[in-house]
Amino acid sequence: MKRILVVDDEIGALTLIGIMLERGGFEVLKAKDAEQALVVLDHDTPDLIILDVMMPGMDGIELCRVLRQRQETTQTPILILSARGDAKSVMSGMDAGASDYLPKPILHHDLVAKVRRMLDLDPVTED
């Protein structure tokens, strides 16, 4: 089972994204900020990381840069999921090393399909 780390300071969003991914067949690790994410990553290396941009302390863009400098996560796919969907924000995320960028809010099917594509998994067909 593929493991995904979700980093978001909004507990509601963290819970909702976690439920979507679990229903999609993934194991979910959660962190409420960059500091907690780095602690999780000291003990575990997920198959994919999902970052929110707007967080207190280190934001998702800076965390993405840090993750790209760590040997364990330099090749890990990173998806930025943010309420900021303007071109400048998207470019900032991609320049920081994100693999892809999706605007919030996100539909369950779209999120699971994107994650499956990023992990090179077969798409799930829904009835």
What is the tens place of the pLDDT at every residue in 86-120? Answer: 889 899 999 999 999 999 888 899 999 999 999 99
**124 pLDDT band (50/70/90 cuts)?**
low
Report which secondary-structure segment, H or E, holds 64. Answer: helix 60-69
Identity of the amino acid at 58: M
CA atoms lying within 13 Å on the CB side of residue 75: 3
CA 33 – CA 126 distance, rounded (Å): 33
* 17 contacts 50 by C-beta, under 8 angstroms: yes
Give residue limits of the domains in the chain.
3-118
Q: What's the pTM?
A: 0.93
Token pair for residue 125?
């067909």
Residue bearing tokens 């071109």: 87
What is the tens place of the pLDDT at every residue in 34-66? Answer: 999 999 999 999 999 999 999 999 999 999 999
Residue bearing tokens 């994100």: 98
pLDDT of residue 126: 47
Residue 2 CB neighbours (<10 A): 15
CATH 3.40.50.300 fits 3-118, yes or no: no
Specify the range with the lowest mean pLDDT, choosing from 24-28, 71-75, 121-125. 121-125
